[in-house]
Structure 1
Amino acid sequence: MYDKNRQQKTKQITIKPFKGDLQVKKSSLLLLSMLVVFTMFLAACGSKTEDKNAASETPKTETEKPKETEAPKKDVSLRVFSTFGGTDSAREAFQAALDEFTAKNPNVKINNDTMSANDDGFRTKVNTDMTSGNEPDLLFYFVGADAQGFVDAGKVVPLNDILDANADWKAGFAPAALENTRQKDGNIYAAPLTGFYEGLFVNKKIFADNNLELPTDWDKMKTAVQTLSKKGIIPLAAPFDQSHYVIEHFILSAAGDKGHNAGLADGIDPNWEKGYAAMKELYDLGAFPKDAATIDLSMASNYFGEGKAAMILEGSWAMGNWKDAAVIDNTTVLPFPAMPGGVGTGKDVIGGFGSGFYLSKSTFDNADKKDTAIELLKHMTSPAVIEKIAIANGGTPAAAGVEIKGKNQTATDGFAMAANATSVNNPIDTMVSPETFSTLRAGVQSVVTGKKAPADVLKEAKAIEDANKK
């Protein structure tokens, strides 16, 4: 009975669901679920925002601190003196190299102080500046005797240690180029840029038009001089005062490489007298311009460049000054012929790396300039700059691995002449003092005009050389 009543009570309190109630319940559950998800989303977003804010408020570690802005580099002003001025064929390339450096280093200003190498005043300027406390920061100048005075006075610094400390820079030089700039004390003070060769530049067309053989020996030279002189053509364009190339080639032809390179240190080589005597021999045949006593090297070069002279003794740089295509296209370069009675081979050549960049001691000791000056020195003697300068002036590049083909046949002939030479020798003015060389120069006109004997001129030069060594 009890169990039955219980069942009845259960039936009474149980309500059967109907279809509409089930749909309401489902909708409620769905709405509730959406509210839960939305609430969770808001909570997550709030958490991220809080985390972000918290992160922004957290102090940065040492490695996370922003880099401090570099202080602007100090302004540096440098003066560079060189002979890349006047009508020098590499003048624009040289300026462009300086401009490249200042473009990369806007804090650096460079005073490009130049003079022409054909102006003898540049030697006076250099000597004055180097002895008066007005040294340029970088000086492009000759090596050897010309530099000995300021080298001995400690006005420039040896580059040996600087080269060793910059292995890549040092490796960029041709070893022979560096060796060629060593001074007597064994140190390298000048970083070379381009080398050079000198020779007898010959207008082949003038020779052909006058049925003349090229002057490859002394007899052919004399025949050419006599023939051309009679026809009113200048055989050999050369000045008497600025007779650098005449002295070098005539003495090398007579004395050979050993006699030439000995200078006057151990006495007077008899073959030097033969060299001066040969100058007079050609003068008497009409070799030189009628105004040789008053013109300078530039005017002599103009005579050849304008087709008025058949021959000229010049350096590889001269071609850049000749604008007449007919002259350039018809010019070749030959060694100066050996003269009878001398010991030259007829293939001895003047050339080498006779100049370079010096770093002044005052700049090296200046903390505000030192590093910048060294970087400029490295830039100006980098393989890229050396190649551009060599292309411009036809010089031999001082950089390892840089091969320059002549920009014309004349330049190509010049490189071949130097390559086939029995000896390549520095000019005489690198082996004697400037005062001695001035005496040798002045002696040319005195000898060819018969006012002095070759032996007398050489004795005067020797006396001056000995006096300078005391």
Structure 2
Amino acid sequence: MKKKVLSAVLCGVMAASMFPVTAMADGGVTLNVTTTFAGNESNVELYQDTIKAWEDETGNTVEDASATSDETFKARIISDFETGAEPDVLFFFNGNDSNPFVEAGKVVSIEDIRAEYPEYASNMKDDMIPASPADGVQYAVPFYGYWEGLYVNKAVMEAAEAEIPTADTTWDQFLETCQIIKNAGYTPIATSLAKEPHYWFEFAIYNHDSAKTHTTVPAALDDAAGEAWQAGLADIKDLYEKGFLSENTNTATGDEVFQSFLEGKSAFYLDGSWKMGGIKEGTDDIDNFTVTYVPGNGDRKSTDIIGGLSSGWYISTKCWEDEEKRDAAVSLVEKFISDETVSAFAGTATTALKNGAEIDESSLTNLEKDALAMLKDTTGITGAVQDLVTQDERAPIFDNMPQIVEGQTEIADAISEMLEIIEENAE
């Protein structure tokens, strides 16, 4: 088969795993594992198959508590660590969301693991392994990264006689397109502000800064970042007031609005690269869907995207201090971070593999090929600014998004409350 090798940043050439599976503990052990591979997220079946293969290879077992990644899930993880109910192995975010359990010494650093297992994560580029913002230490081994884009239901666009956004589409033109879709009797944007406000939050702010300045948390309401956040939230409120969002956006779950998108009730759905798997599994007509850029505004070009390596595999300190579980935990993480497994999971996403991940383009869906074309023409990339604030710090905005768009909470008040919490946490 013809195979196309991508750049090391996006994809590369697959090599065999560098890791032997660590020998199992006598009699086998049970590991408590929590990840975000649940619900409609991509690779859920592959995750379950990998767990089963590891169990068969080692004689160990996994008690899985994975759940869809939303603000409730993130809060649950923090609570589990605070109450001593943390998992043995965790696939979680490596930004500020992890600060509480990192600062509490509840996870083990990669350096400490390598002191006993020298080959641990040796197939990864060390300079691409994110360090914790809490102390600058590397704890989470990256699995595969992400990009975020605007998924499109072609049938809705055709029925509404609307044009699919391109690299040249401006924000004002996008608003005009949304009005055309609404006039045709469809919902322009499927989104849950109640459970998953972060995607539109991110790009709305991005449209008022740039790839160079996006990952800047406001220090004051009236500094450049503070003004960008206010303007971005005002844009989300404008989308809501124009009736461009899901009718039940302030009460619906992410799964509910995603289903409305799959069923052809909504035209657009903003999410990450992992959602391609959910679309593929949720439809019999994958060719009906494509992905494009979120239309830009101001200094941000539409081709400036959000992406990176924001999550990774952690081993908890409690697990590490149990000698039998320690060996099994390292074995399980090595299973997931091997070249072969990362390549299987990554698809079109970023990896930190030294040898890169391999893609067989002949096996890709048209949606995945559209994603590669989008990435090829990308002009700028930045991480998500939400990763620089903790769950409790962004709660005044994220938890109150329905109230913000309804006008019950002032945008300036929500941001000011966030700044107060950040200041308190810094003391």
TM-score (norm. length: structure 2): 0.84
Query: Deviation at 1:333?
Result: 1.8
Q: Which amino acid aligns with 2:388?
A: M
- Aligned pair 1:426/2:383, yes or no? yes
CA distance in 1, matches of 2:209, 2:400: 18
Query: Deviation at 1:164?
Result: 7.4
Query: Deviation at 1:331?
Result: 2.3
1:352: which partner in 2? 308
Q: 232, 238, 245: which is aligned to 1:288? A: 245
Query: Deviation at 1:185?
Result: 2.3
Query: Is the helix fraction higher in 1 or 2?
Result: 1
Query: Deviation at 1:110?
Result: 2.1
Aligned residue pairs total 392
Q: Which amino acid aligns with 2:98?
A: A
Please say if residues 181 and 353 of structure 1, whose CA atoms lie closer than 8 Å, have aligned partners that are also in contact: no
Q: 1:419 to 1:453 in 2, by over 3 A?
A: farther
- Aligned pair 1:212/2:166, yes or no? no
1:29: which partner in 2? none
Please say if residues 138 and 359 of structure 1, whose CA atoms lie closer than 8 Å, have aligned partners that are also in contact: yes
Q: Which amino acid aligns with 1:117?
A: S
1:457: which partner in 2? 414
CA distance in 2, matches of 1:331, 1:149: 39
Query: Deviation at 1:144?
Result: 0.8
For residue 277 of structure 2, give the secondary structure of its aligned residue in structure 1: helix
- The aligned runs of 1:377-396 (5 Å cut-off) are 377-391=333-347, 395-396=349-350
Q: 1:452 to 1:318 in 2, by over 3 A?
A: same
For residue 151 of structure 2, give the secondary structure of its aligned residue in structure 1: strand
Task: Select between 181-190 and 153-162 the one with higher mean Cα deviation.
Answer: 181-190
Query: Deviation at 1:445?
Result: 2.7
Query: Deviation at 1:207?
Result: 2.5
Q: 48, 66, 69: which is aligned to 1:114? A: 66
2:330: which partner in 1? 374
CA distance in 1, matches of 2:145, 2:270: 17
Please say if residues 293 and 303 of structure 2, whose CA atoms lie closer than 8 Å, have aligned partners that are also in contact: yes
For residue 274 of structure 2, give the secondary structure of its aligned residue in structure 1: helix
Q: 264, 276, 283: which is aligned to 2:218? A: 264
TM-score (norm. length: structure 1): 0.77
2:5: which partner in 1? none
Q: Which amino acid aligns with 1:377?
A: V
Task: Select between 308-317 and 420-429 the one with higher mean Cα deviation.
Answer: 420-429
RMSD (Å) for aligned C-alpha atoms: 2.5
Q: Which amino acid aligns with 1:137?
A: D
2:318: which partner in 1? 362
- Aligned pair 1:104/2:54, yes or no? no
Q: 1:105 to 1:443 in 2, by over 3 A?
A: closer
- The aligned runs of 1:141-156 (5 Å cut-off) are 141-156=92-107
Please say if residues 153 and 289 of structure 2, whose CA atoms lie closer than 8 Å, have aligned partners that are also in contact: yes
1:125: which partner in 2? 76
1:322-352 superposed Cα distances (whole Å, 9 cap, x missing partner): 32233x313222221222xx43222221221
2:180: which partner in 1? 227
For residue 63 of structure 2, give the secondary structure of its aligned residue in structure 1: strand
Query: Deviation at 1:101?
Result: 1.9
Query: Deviation at 1:382?
Result: 0.8
CA distance in 1, matches of 2:27, 2:174: 61
Please say if residues 153 and 288 of structure 2, whose CA atoms lie closer than 8 Å, have aligned partners that are also in contact: yes
Unaligned segments of structure 2, at least 5 residues: 1-23
- Aligned pair 1:273/2:224, yes or no? no
Query: Deviation at 1:245?
Result: 0.7
Q: 1:373 to 1:284 in 2, by over 3 A?
A: closer
For residue 311 of structure 1, give the secondary structure of its aligned residue in structure 2: strand
Unaligned segments of structure 1, at least 5 residues: 1-70
- The aligned runs of 1:135-214 (5 Å cut-off) are 135-163=86-114, 169-175=120-126, 177-178=128-129, 180=130, 182-214=132-164
1:92: which partner in 2? 45
1:190-226 superposed Cα distances (whole Å, 9 cap, x missing partner): 0111211111112234324433232321122111111
Query: Deviation at 1:177?
Result: 4.1
Percent identity, aligned pairs only, is: 29
Q: 1:366 to 1:456 in 2, by over 3 A?
A: same
Q: Which amino acid aligns with 1:362?
A: K
Query: Deviation at 1:72?
Result: 8.8
1:278-305 superposed Cα distances (whole Å, 9 cap, x missing partner): 2233233321122112112111111111
For residue 425 of structure 2, give the secondary structure of its aligned residue in structure 1: helix
Please say if residues 146 and 429 of structure 1, whose CA atoms lie closer than 8 Å, have aligned partners that are also in contact: no
CA distance in 2, matches of 1:227, 1:442: 31
Q: Which amino acid aligns with 2:160?
A: N
Task: Select between 85-94 and 377-386 the one with higher mean Cα deviation.
Answer: 85-94
Q: 203, 206, 216: which is aligned to 1:249? A: 203
Q: 1:190 to 1:72 in 2, by over 3 A?
A: closer
